Structure 1
Amino acid sequence: MSQATIIILDVGRIVALADEKDEKSFFESAKECAARILERKILSQGKNLVGIILLGSKVTKNNMASQFDGAFRHIEVLSELQTPNWKMIRNLPDKPSNGKGDWFEALLVAADYYKNCVSGVKLASKQIILMTNFKKRPSGAPDSVDEVLNGFKEEGYEVNVIGPDIYSKELENKATDLIKEFVEATNGATATVENIMKYDLLFHRKKVTNAIPWNIDLSIGPNIKIPVSSYSRIKDDPAVKSWQKAVKDPITTTSSTSEAVVKTKEYINQESGTKVEAEDKVQGLQYGQKIIPFSETDKKTMQYQPGEKCLSVYGFTSADNIKWQNLNGDGLNYVFGRKGDKRAQKAVRCLVECLHELNLVGIVRKVHFNNTNPKMFALMPVIDTNNFVCLSLIGICYKEDIKQMSFPATNLKKHKCTQEQVDAFKELINAMDLTKAYDDTFDDTEAFPIAECVSPSVQYVLDCIAFRAMNPDKPLPKPREEILTLFKVPPLLEANAKKPLEKLKSLFTLTKVEVKKRKNKNAPLDIDQFKIPVGDLQSDNPNIPNMPKIQLPTKDDVTEIKTISTVNPIEDFKALQSRNKPLSELATEMIKAIESLIHNNIDGNYSKAIDAMKHLRSEFVKTDPTDYNDWVKKLKVELVDSDKTEVVDLLTEKQVSYILKHENSLSTYEDEHSHEESQMYENDTIPNSTELTISTDVQNMFDD
């Protein structure tokens, strides 16, 4: 059965004038409220039927006007009673008219429409929402008002009023007295436009549906089976469960749900290139270079079969063993005894009381449908203060889903807090109490109450859907202020927490920990951005990009040198050598600096690297030259591989190559080329010999 609502919207010139307090007229506020009501009913996707009647319209279009000449004028049935859609919001008038209508006659038109114009539909409720400012009295209220009220009662009409406060003393007149009788006689309600937009229509609401039970027998052992019904208490549903696909015509820019893009899927034999029918194909698994057929029959035989649907108790454990970290967030179900089965209800109540007294929790296996994946749940007792007794069913994570995390011990002496610090934290907790977030001017002092706070993400998604429906070509808006308020701390709590926070800051001295970012050593260097004329570098040209700043060490910083840098490697070497640092460590740092100067050179000037090598060579001449010669040999191979043969020639020219035997008797090098010739001979003979076995056609292919 559907719920029907007829909205009577006043669009006459009486509601066109703006109030003194705010700039909006009653027509603008009422139209916005009516659009929001339609928007909520559309997005809730409930069984709602809505009709719209315009009061004070230029056009007279209603069934009563055709029966009574000269009466029921300027009342237009804009939209028939139908499922609400976005077109109804677009059809609302943009501007008020100059007509004047009678709201009492509009109520009679709405009642007549329910009685004579609606057929073939069973209505659970018949609601009439009147939206006017009551500045115009009814032109001819009949003497038989009691007869009209009795008719409204008999037909089950409910009259609600959205407008000014009809119970205020400022609006006491015949019009408000008459509408009060309709509201009270039909058990209706009244509210101002501001209040209903601020509270009732502030957020979208979910469609109210009756809970569907999952009927199953709760099995405990081989002999005990209790007929129970499981209801979903908490379920993580998306904002929109199902989307209806539509194809947009690029020419007419209209969307159609009856048309769709046709997709075809064909199977082609790669060997023959012929088409294969879907029923002739056989699935397979690739194992190395072979494809092994794997049919659906094989898949079913290997698949685990959980069996028929069930809710079986595996055993009971202490409630202390069930930690909140081991529970998943797939939802919460409540389990009751089967409806109408008193023995089952008594058995469930007895089980709940036993689990509660013994501090136990049941571990159950659940298969929702036949041959679906089984899941493990914790069966816990629930006893409410209002004698509400049932079992709660919440999922338990498997071992593979739990991640073990180790944390350092906090019960150490250095982490121990003083009593003053503990008291300061207690003061902050009391100041941030959400149950006392508002003062006496609010009806409820609690902020973000449980089961009443809406989801900001769901509200924003629904807002975007409504905005896109009304504005198909505009970009989506940012979240409105009401949604952003859900992320903010209430002002009273923020004010109360200032002093406790300042006290905590004074009791705890915090040091900022700077996390060093890892540098990418292989990041490419764009040289072109640094090619700037020298004259521009000396001027204050604002177009020059920010050059990297390098702080050169001064003479006073020598004592602070800890390693050999590429700026002054020789001076750093001498400074560290004066502190009795061993040559083995100095050589490692010096070699690292020299290789950096050679490999990262961008101007072709290797004088600094050559000078550093000369100094290092002179030090190794005094000791064992083996490490130096091995490094030079390795360096020359790297330079040849990186196409820097000019540096190899430069090392020989500047006499910074191998330490020869006549310089130090421990050296194994007689002359400069003794080892290189043998090495070159060994490397050259291998490619020449292999090239003879490769044909000319193959060589030309690789050249291409």
Structure 2
Amino acid sequence: MPPKVEQGTIIILDIGRNTSAKDKSGKSFFENAIECTKRIIERKIMSQGNDLIGIILLGSKKTKNSMAEQCPGAFKHIELFVELEIPSWKMIRDLPDMPTKSKGDWFDALIVAADYFKNGVSGIKNPNKRIILMTNFESPSSVDENGFDQALNGFKEEDFQVDVIGCDINSENSKNNDINMARNFVESTNGVTAPFNDTMRYLLFHKKKHVNAMPWNVDLCIGPNIKIPITSYIRLKDEPIVKKWTKAVRDPITDTASSTEAVSKKTIHLNVENKNVVNNELIKGYHYGQEIIPFFECDKSLIYESGPKSLIVYGFTHSSKVKFQNLNGDGLSYVFGRKGDKKAQYAVRCLVECLLELDLVAIVRRVYNNGYAPRMFALMPVLDSNDFVCLSMASICFKEEIKYMSFPATELKKFACTNDQVNAFKDLIKAMDLTNAYDDSEFDDNEAFPIAETISPSAQYILDCIAFRAMNPGKPLPQPRSDIMMLFKVPPLIEKRAAVPLERLKTLFVLNKVEVKHRIKKSQDASVTDTSIQAEGANEAYNDMPKVELCIPTKSENIQKIRTISPISDYKYLLSKGKPLNEIALEMTGAIESLIYSNLDQHCSKALEAMMFFRMEGVKGDPSYYNNWLKNFKTELYDRKRSDMLELIKEKQLNYIWNQENNLSKYDINDPEEESQIYEMDTAPSFTEMDVSSEVNNLFNDM
């Protein structure tokens, strides 16, 4: 069966030397034509349609077309560059980079395109034939009047559509005979013409492919005896931006999808106990919480049957009971009487008028097809004019899907507004009327952001990123272009009109900044006296809270051993009390190891702070305690696969201590992590020691 193709388009792209001259904007005709061609192909790719595109190069160095083979010496410098095929990114990549030094006849290129449509395309059933001509007509054609009339009649008989892009051919007083001939082609074939600026403005945003709505035919049942044949069409529906994603393997050489490799999926069932593949005796099951409930063949009789496809009215209710927050689903449908059935159309019209008169809506149960789950919908009347009468159908929530939220009452005296405040808001609403947002001289339509016509900025940016990634596989994604960011800006006329009402509102509504008062968090080293003072200050701000006496341990208590809570202060305290250095060093290393091995949050700032302090003490005095411990400690870290901690030690420069009096190069023997650069010339401290709280370090690490 031949593929279903709606339209076949051949682009005649002039790349001759007559297109190399630059205009006032600094761009040549060739550059504008290439940019426009890329945008047309990109638009076709993104729409994911079945349209075919071919490219003919006019003014090419080569002569490659069937007409040149039939008529030697004619149809020169015309190359059939790409035959009709589904548009791809390769088409864009293969486009020429610069114009040639040859010239071609644009009229001959039209004949070549028409001949290819007639004789060179097979297996495609009756597509719409469209030819887009991009040339500046500075290379004149050699066709005579008889040949032109004969070709024009042939184009009409074959239903070709000829479009001319890039050159203004609408001038009736043009002395260029080629432009007059091109205008006759466009008018006789119902084509279009536009300069590059207007064409690129039209191609500025990606648009979805226009698809005819699929009808859903069913009988609207009201009670046991009334059945109205109706047809439902989807009016709005939430859909993904790109529906079909094809996974492919990237070729590392060409940075494109591989033509020899592909992604395949295979589903297998494994026995959890012995890991063997199970090929038979499979029993389906369903997750219910953490349990799997088996579902046997005999249980199929217990499945709820929704019945055949149907649309049954359960009843009618007042429209005020079906609020906006009660509607859900992924779209909106319109319901009409069946096409060709005048009785059904009259019955639907009568139902709509009755619902409007009584201010009611219908609650219906819909089963889309046999075996589908039933859903509840609301049928609401729509009567825009005498000719447009229908019912809008939107899904409604079940009880479990409704979330009730309570808000404080606003009908209080302190929230009451004066007449001046109300009038100020009315003036602001009138000034920000979007139906009159532009001047007549600038835009055809004065309305800003019209419903169902405003383009989604996020969708446009995603499609731009897809196109950029296809053409630039290794580059980072760009920022949204200015055309997309313009969609977020307020129209200038609206902003100008709203300036005065906004200033008036600022004077009528005086807003006072509310300062949130926080309790002052005390450190553990604070004294009891300081705590009581802070508690009194806090009690002034929080006078409704009881006063609590806090008992915080002070430095005056007898500390016997270095603790993990404050190892640095404990080290200093025990050293001042005359405790031997070898015992203090052993306790310090034990506290550091406990902070690292027992820390579940992986925050080692306090341990690194203690290591830095311990190392500085070794630089000032005897470094052997630090070096001997660090060698065993790094070996232990290597065995525990704590590469993160080893990297931190390197990063913070907490490696071995070396000086001229104590040559400690022996510590690099059998060290799994240290390299030849591990030792430093730490003859004296190079920075001033500072005691920074570990809580402060943790605060900055978490930011």
Equivalent-residue separation in structure 1 for 2:105 and 2:325 (angstroms): 64
Q: 1:238 aligns with which of 226, 231, 240?
A: 240
Equivalent-residue separation in structure 2 for 1:64 and 1:572 (angstroms): 97
Q: 1:567 to 1:264 in 2, by over 3 A?
A: farther
- Alpha-carbon shift at residue 442 of structure 1 (Å): 1.5
Task: Quote the residue 2:431 is aligned against.
Answer: 431
443-452 or 139-148: bigger deviation: 139-148
Aligned-residue CA RMSD (Å): 3.4
2:207 is aligned with 1:205: yes
Task: Quote the residue 1:487 is aligned against.
Answer: 488
Task: Quote the residue 1:259 is aligned against.
Answer: 262
Task: Quote the residue 2:306 is aligned against.
Answer: 306
* 1:206-247: CA deviation from partner (whole Å, max 9, x where unpaired): 112121111111111111111211111111111111211212
- Alpha-carbon shift at residue 106 of structure 1 (Å): 1.4
2:372 is aligned with 1:368: no
Q: 1:325 to 1:302 in 2, by over 3 A?
A: same
> Contact between 1:282 and 1:293, CA under 8 Å: does it hold in 2?
no
Aligned ranges 1:623-634 → 2 under 5 Å: none
2:227 is aligned with 1:217: no
Equivalent-residue separation in structure 2 for 1:408 and 1:482 (angstroms): 43
2:136 is aligned with 1:99: no
Equivalent-residue separation in structure 1 for 2:535 and 2:330 (angstroms): 65
Equivalent-residue separation in structure 1 for 2:182 and 2:94 (angstroms): 28
Equivalent-residue separation in structure 2 for 1:300 and 1:513 (angstroms): 63
> Contact between 1:86 and 1:469, CA under 8 Å: does it hold in 2?
yes
> Contact between 2:174 and 2:180, CA under 8 Å: does it hold in 1?
no
- Alpha-carbon shift at residue 361 of structure 1 (Å): 0.6
AA of the residue aligned to 1:160 = D
- For the residue of structure 1 that corresponds to 2:450, the secondary structure is coil
2:358 is aligned with 1:358: yes
- Alpha-carbon shift at residue 384 of structure 1 (Å): 2.0
2:512 is aligned with 1:508: no
Q: 1:119 aligns with which of 94, 103, 122?
A: 122
Task: Quote the residue 1:9 is aligned against.
Answer: 13
Equivalent-residue separation in structure 2 for 1:597 and 1:381 (angstroms): 83
* 1:272-303: CA deviation from partner (whole Å, max 9, x where unpaired): x37352423446789999x8872333664554
Q: 1:41 to 1:274 in 2, by over 3 A?
A: closer
AA of the residue aligned to 2:485 = L
Equivalent-residue separation in structure 1 for 2:473 and 2:15 (angstroms): 27
Q: 1:518 to 1:494 in 2, by over 3 A?
A: farther
AA of the residue aligned to 1:116 = N
Task: Quote the residue 1:247 is aligned against.
Answer: 249
Q: 1:601 to 1:244 in 2, by over 3 A?
A: closer
> Contact between 1:2 and 1:122, CA under 8 Å: does it hold in 2?
no
Q: 1:400 to 1:103 in 2, by over 3 A?
A: same
> Contact between 1:166 and 1:172, CA under 8 Å: does it hold in 2?
no
Q: 1:575 to 1:359 in 2, by over 3 A?
A: closer
AA of the residue aligned to 2:79 = E
| TM-score of the pair, normalised by structure 1 | 0.73
What percentage of residue pairs aligned between the two structures are identical? 57
* 1:290-333: CA deviation from partner (whole Å, max 9, x where unpaired): x8872333664554333332211000111122111111141011
Q: 1:168 to 1:297 in 2, by over 3 A?
A: same
Equivalent-residue separation in structure 2 for 1:313 and 1:336 (angstroms): 15
* 1:119-149: CA deviation from partner (whole Å, max 9, x where unpaired): 3322331111111122333234443422221
- For the residue of structure 1 that corresponds to 2:146, the secondary structure is coil
Q: 1:575 to 1:429 in 2, by over 3 A?
A: closer
Between the two proteins, the alignment pairs up a number of residues equal to 556
* 1:92-122: CA deviation from partner (whole Å, max 9, x where unpaired): 1011111111212211221122122123322
Q: 1:571 to 1:318 in 2, by over 3 A?
A: closer
Aligned ranges 1:133-212 → 2 under 5 Å: 133-168=136-171, 172-198=175-201, 200-212=202-214
Aligned ranges 1:575-654 → 2 under 5 Å: 588-589=548-549, 591-592=550-551, 603-604=569-570
AA of the residue aligned to 2:7 = Q
- Alpha-carbon shift at residue 263 of structure 1 (Å): 4.6
> Contact between 1:597 and 1:606, CA under 8 Å: does it hold in 2?
no
- Alpha-carbon shift at residue 437 of structure 1 (Å): 1.3
AA of the residue aligned to 2:86 = T
Equivalent-residue separation in structure 2 for 1:214 and 1:519 (angstroms): 66
Equivalent-residue separation in structure 2 for 1:455 and 1:286 (angstroms): 38
- For the residue of structure 2 that corresponds to 1:361, the secondary structure is strand
Equivalent-residue separation in structure 1 for 2:311 and 2:386 (angstroms): 28
> Contact between 1:365 and 1:375, CA under 8 Å: does it hold in 2?
yes
- For the residue of structure 2 that corresponds to 1:448, the secondary structure is coil
566-575 or 370-379: bigger deviation: 566-575
- Alpha-carbon shift at residue 38 of structure 1 (Å): 0.8
Q: 1:34 aligns with which of 32, 37, 40?
A: 37
AA of the residue aligned to 2:347 = A
* 1:469-497: CA deviation from partner (whole Å, max 9, x where unpaired): 21122222222111121111112212222
Larger Rg: 1
> Contact between 2:528 and 2:551, CA under 8 Å: does it hold in 1?
no
> Contact between 1:379 and 1:393, CA under 8 Å: does it hold in 2?
yes
User: Structure 1 regions of 5+ residues with no counterpart?
Assistant: 528-563, 608-704
> Contact between 2:255 and 2:473, CA under 8 Å: does it hold in 1?
no
Task: Quote the residue 1:341 is aligned against.
Answer: 341
Q: 1:416 to 1:67 in 2, by over 3 A?
A: same
Equivalent-residue separation in structure 2 for 1:244 and 1:597 (angstroms): 72
Q: 1:606 to 1:594 in 2, by over 3 A?
A: farther
- For the residue of structure 2 that corresponds to 1:392, the secondary structure is strand
AA of the residue aligned to 1:457 = S
- For the residue of structure 1 that corresponds to 2:42, the secondary structure is helix
> Contact between 2:329 and 2:396, CA under 8 Å: does it hold in 1?
no
- For the residue of structure 1 that corresponds to 2:370, the secondary structure is coil
Task: Quote the residue 1:548 is aligned against.
Answer: none
Equivalent-residue separation in structure 2 for 1:172 and 1:597 (angstroms): 106
Aligned ranges 1:289-688 → 2 under 5 Å: 294-297=294-297, 300=300, 303-385=303-385, 387-440=387-440, 441-514=442-515, 568-569=530-531, 588-589=548-549, 591-592=550-551, 603-604=569-570
Equivalent-residue separation in structure 2 for 1:414 and 1:85 (angstroms): 65
* 1:19-67: CA deviation from partner (whole Å, max 9, x where unpaired): 1x21111111111101111111111122211111111111111122222
| TM-score of the pair, normalised by structure 2 | 0.73
Equivalent-residue separation in structure 2 for 1:573 and 1:269 (angstroms): 61
Task: Quote the residue 1:538 is aligned against.
Answer: none
Q: 1:142 to 1:297 in 2, by over 3 A?
A: same
AA of the residue aligned to 2:8 = A
AA of the residue aligned to 1:136 = S
- For the residue of structure 2 that corresponds to 1:449, the secondary structure is coil
- For the residue of structure 2 that corresponds to 1:366, the secondary structure is strand
Equivalent-residue separation in structure 1 for 2:99 and 2:196 (angstroms): 17
- For the residue of structure 2 that corresponds to 1:23, the secondary structure is coil
Equivalent-residue separation in structure 1 for 2:148 and 2:48 (angstroms): 37
Equivalent-residue separation in structure 2 for 1:363 and 1:179 (angstroms): 60
Equivalent-residue separation in structure 2 for 1:163 and 1:508 (angstroms): 56
Task: Quote the residue 1:666 is aligned against.
Answer: none
Q: 1:516 to 1:348 in 2, by over 3 A?
A: farther
Equivalent-residue separation in structure 2 for 1:519 and 1:267 (angstroms): 58
- Alpha-carbon shift at residue 259 of structure 1 (Å): 2.6
User: Structure 2 regions of 5+ residues with no counterpart?
Assistant: 558-562, 574-703
Q: 1:264 to 1:389 in 2, by over 3 A?
A: closer
> Contact between 1:59 and 1:74, CA under 8 Å: does it hold in 2?
yes
* 1:379-424: CA deviation from partner (whole Å, max 9, x where unpaired): 1111122511111110111122222122222222211222222222
